[in-house]
Structures are given as C-alpha cells and as structure tokens.
Amino acid sequence: MTTTRFAPSPTGYIHVGNLRTALMNYLIAHKTGGQFILRLDDTDQERSKQEYADAIMRDLEWLGLHWDRVEKQSLRLDRYREVAETLKSSGRFYEVFETPTELDLKRKKQLNMGKPPVYDRAGLKLSEADKEKLRAEGRAGYWRFLLDQERIEWTDGILGAISIDAASVSDPVLIRADGQVLYTFASSVDDIDMGVTDIVRGADHVTNTATQIQIMQAIGGTPPNFAHHSLLTGAKGEELSKRLGTLSLRDLRERGVEPMALLSLMARLGSSRPVELFTNIDDLAAGFDVGTFGSAPTKFDAEDLFPLTRGYVQGLSLDAVQPKLAELGVPSDKAEAFWAVAKGNITVLNDLAEWWTLFRDGATPLVADEDRDFVAQALAMLPPQPWTPATWGEWTNAVKAATGRKGKGLFMPLRKAMTGRENGPEMADVLPLLPKVPSL
C-alpha cells in the first residue's frame, strides 16, 4: 500500500510552504487509495506547543486533507534509544565532544586550505580514557552517524537521477549532548517503522535524503521513493522564507481564501500543467502527477488566490451558502433573490456582509452637486413600493422623457443615489431588494 506522511514541527503555524509538502503527499496517497499519516515532529519539547499541534490539525481539516492516523515522535523516544543502541554496537554511531567554536575553527582552516568543510572524524580516534578525560573537564558527548564514504544514488521523482558523494558530507549529528534526538535520525526510524513508501519534500532536504538513505539501510530498512519540490519565492523572484510567517494558512483563511482555491493553485504551481479551479479533492487528486513539477524556484503570489476564490464562491449553490446567509440575518424569503444578485459581485463570502447591509438598511446616497436637482426630481417620480424587476426600466424611461437625460448621464446618478456606489449588479435586480427611497 502507498503510504505517505506530513511531518510538521508544532512550533508555529503552518504556511503555504508547508502546505505544498502536505498536499503533494496527501494527493499521492489519495490517488492510489493509500494511507496519509500526520506525524508531529515534537521531539523539541521546549519549542513544541499543543496549541500549534491543534492549529495544524484545524488547518488540515479546513482544507479537507484528512489523515488516516496521527503519530507523535515524543511518544517514540524509547524506540529511538533502542535503535541508537543498535547503531552504537555496530559502530555506526560514535561519540564526539567538539564545541561549536572548535568546529567553526576547523571549518575555517579547511576552507583556507581549499578543502571542503567536512567533519574530520576526530571523534573516531578517541579512546575511552580520552572520553573520560573530556567528560571530567565538563564536556558532554553527542553522537554522529558514520557514513559509508561512497556515492549515494537515487532516482528522484522530480529532480531525476541524483548522485551525492558521501565523502563530501559531514557525518551528521543525530543525538545532541542533552539527549535530544534530531530530525534526521527520528524521521529515518519512523519512515521505516511506519512503512512509508513515498516522500515529497523541499529541495533543501536533498543532502538530508542522502544521509537518511544510509541511516535507513543501516537499520535494515528499504528507503522510500523520494521527490524534492522546488522552493517558493515571491512574485518577483525574491526570497519568500522571511515572509512565510505572514502567509500562514490561518491568515489566508481569515482573508476569506476558499480551501479549494488554495489547493487548486498549490497542486499545479510550478508544474507543466496550467492552474485551474477544481471544486473537489477527488478530481484534484486524479489529475495530480508529481513528475510534472520542475526544479526551478517557484513564484508564489497570494493575490493569485483571489480570482480562484471568486470563481469558486460565485459557483456555489444557494444551499451551500445558506449558513453564511443565516449568519448575516438574511430572511429565508429573501435569501434566493439576495444570493442571485450579490454572488456575481463578491470575491470572498465575507463580501456578502456589505451587500446585505445595503439591502437591509438602504444606502447613503452619492450625489454630485451638479446632479442634485436631477436626482431629486427623479426620486419624486419613483413609483411606490413594492418594486419589481420591471420598475427600473419603467422609472428610467419616465425620467428620460421628463428630463431629456440619457445614457450614462441618466443611469449613473440614479445608481449612485440608490446604492451609494458606482458599480454593482443590474439595477433591475437590485431595486426590488432595496428597503426604501434614500433621503437626500
């Protein structure tokens, strides 16, 4: 069975960059009838918060990305310790004691000599007596994974054939001095234990993937299929990472972005296929192919979400928007007419509030000084309520005959007087919903 996972750290709110990863993994599983695991990378107990874990789940539920099960890395610490002991016994984990300052000096020396800044494996040369002496000096040991210094190769679902020389990569630190298990190790153990078959993540993880392939093999597992999507940039190609905090899913939700608009954009952005609006996840998944994505940085502009949102919202049925109409207080006998008139003039559902205020309370007229006498004369000719769709035409014809005005000079002053705005739905449809004649 195809099994994918989304493994966010509950240390903040998820943003569009996280969503791209979550969505691709979800669609691969959904398309094949497989499993999608939500795995919370919460081994950092100081920064991980339940409120963020809850927020991640709310965001995924809002989007309709339903997981088959939730896993928490904080509940698997015993398993990580067990695997770590096995790797220590086999010689693949070794203890080191260098401080960050010492490591920095080593890197600078290597760079000055024209060599790659790769860890020199000095920790391998330490005897037990050396280690005891360092501990007595107050140093705490931490653990690195001993890479086989050979080429690590795989066929990436997006990048194609990848080959990385392990000799050009430092042996990764997998357990800190305080005992905290780091992502590279915990994730490798989880992916094997949980039977993950496919992983899509950002291109910034390519080197991680190389080391994780060896870790997975060292614990007796078969690495999954990997694909690395491009990173997002701003609309002009600028670095987006510093702005991602302003593009959290909860902020986009508050701005009125519709889930399917967001999913439709993110499922095609950066691929060879055009962006189009989908109205359900099944159709979105059926047309998804991770192999259509490219490696070039992908430009993202949040404003592109609003035309898609407008298209989705304007296609909603009356039944679908009834909860929103009820929230606004639209009477059931006016709901159908109100939705028919307003839907073509909104981008997000929250825009309905402004239109309902107009139809509930009436408008504050916009009248230019040069039109004031004309508007007063026209309003005096307005037939009594109730107004029908035919009233607008009958009224404006009568005003035209009485005043000689025509075209925009006739219609625009009357629209602005009746609605307080220069544009909107057809006035023949608007007039029956207006509650009263405006007062000049």
Question: Which stretches within 304-407 are classed as H helix?
Answer: 305-314, 318-328, 332-342, 352-361, 372-380, 391-403
Structure tokens at 88: 């220590």
In a domain, 252, yes or no: yes
Instruction: Give pLDDT tens digits for 170-201.
Output: 999 999 999 999 999 999 999 999 999 999 99
Q: Sort residue 91 into left (φ over 0), alpha (ψ -120 to 50) or beta.
A: left
On whether both 428 and 361 belong to a single domain, the answer is yes
Q: Which residues pair with 40 in a beta bridge?
A: 72
What's residue 196's pLDDT?
98
On whether both 307 and 322 belong to a single domain, the answer is no
Q: Give the residue carrying structure tokens 């939705």.
A: 339
What's residue 209's pLDDT?
97
Query: What CA–CA distance (Å, rounded) separates 93 from 141?
Result: 12
CATH of the domain at 245: 1.10.1160.10
On whether both 352 and 267 belong to a single domain, the answer is no
SS3 for 290-301, per residue?
HHHECCCCEECC
What's residue 240's pLDDT?
67
Residue ending a domain, among 313, 329, 357, is: 313
On whether both 276 and 370 belong to a single domain, the answer is no
In a domain, 291, yes or no: yes
Query: What CA–CA distance (Å, rounded) separates 111 from 270?
Result: 36
Question: Which stretches within 91-182 are classed as H helix?
Answer: 100-112, 128-136
Domain count, the chain: 2
Q: By C-alpha distance, which of 218, 220, 222, 193 is closest to 92?
A: 218
On whether both 384 and 364 belong to a single domain, the answer is yes
Residue ending a domain, among 313, 348, 376, is: 313
Residue ending a domain, among 313, 342, 359, is: 313
Query: What CA–CA distance (Å, rounded) separates 309 from 314?
Result: 8
In a domain, 142, yes or no: no
Global confidence as pTM: 0.91
What's residue 24's pLDDT?
98
In a domain, 378, yes or no: yes
Q: Give the residue carrying structure tokens 């691709």.
A: 24
On whether both 291 and 334 belong to a single domain, the answer is no
In a domain, 45, yes or no: no
In a domain, 191, yes or no: no
Q: 67-81 in b/e burial notation, b at 16+ Cβ within 10 A? A: beeebebbebeeebe
In a domain, 197, yes or no: no
Do 382 and 403 touch, CB atoms closer than 8 A? no
On whether both 422 and 349 belong to a single domain, the answer is yes
Structure tokens at 87: 């790797």
What's residue 312's pLDDT?
98
What's residue 235's pLDDT?
81
DSSP sequence for 77-104? HHHHHHHHHHHHHTTSEEEE---HHHHH
Our CA angle for 217, 222, 228, nearest 5°, is 95
What's residue 233's pLDDT?
86
Residues of the chain with pLDDT under 50: none
Do 381 and 399 touch, CB atoms closer than 8 A? yes
Q: In terms of residue numbers, what domain contains 262?
A: 233-313
On whether both 334 and 424 belong to a single domain, the answer is yes
Q: By C-alpha distance, which of 339, 330, 333 is closest to 357?
A: 330
On whether both 330 and 417 belong to a single domain, the answer is yes
What's residue 45's pLDDT?
87
In a domain, 250, yes or no: yes
What's residue 50's pLDDT?
95
On whether both 270 and 321 belong to a single domain, the answer is no
On whether both 260 and 338 belong to a single domain, the answer is no
